[in-house]
Amino acid sequence: MLHELPRADAAPERPQITATEAAAMARTVVNLFARWDLSDAEAREILGGLAARTYARWKAGEVGRIDRDLATRLSLLMGIHKGLRYLFTDPARGYAWVKKTNSALGGRTPVDIMAEGSIFALARIRSYLDAERGGW
């Protein structure tokens, strides 16, 4: 059963992601990667080549400073997760989607593309899901 989450107030005077928001996204992404059944190596590549020690600290709940690049990656991953939740009523199907080959992605899996390591790869998957959701 779906439960509506309370909406956060819009804050256009704060166009950047705050340190608190970034830390929350980092914790969420660690949990998301577990649901996606990613290896630590895949997770670190998706996060732009994050150091193994840093990712181990994230998994232990110790999120340090998050720079603009990493915050952008986290934001894109949240958008990917949101898109999957919209497209799949069964969350398990959405979590499994990232490891399934897709003809629209040249027969590759979304994880293969995201693990290329660039922000553009993440944006490609996000845009694909947005288009699927929007009926383009």
Question: 108 near 102, Cβ under 8 Å?
Answer: yes
How does residue 30 score in pLDDT terms, banded at 50, 70 and 90?
Answer: very high
Are the C-beta atoms of 102 and 94 separated by less than 8 Å? Answer: no
What percentage of the chain exceeds 90 in pLDDT?
Answer: 71
Percentage of the chain lying above the pLDDT 70 cut:
90
Domain boundaries, the chain: 19-134
Maximum average pLDDT range among 21-25, 34-38, 58-62 = 34-38
Please check the confidence at residue 78 and state whether its pLDDT lies above 70: yes
Residue 47: strand, helix, or coil: coil
Query: Quick one: average pLDDT of 46-53?
Result: 95
Q: How far is CA 85 from CA 8, 18, 67, 116, in A?
A: 18, 24, 27, 23
pLDDT score, position 12: 58
Average pLDDT over residues 90-111: 95
Closest among 44, 52, 43 to 98, alpha carbons compared:
43
Q: What are φ and ψ of residue 74, in 5° steps? A: -60, -40
Whole-number pLDDT of residue 14: 60
Q: What does R_g of the chain's alpha carbons equal in angstroms?
A: 15
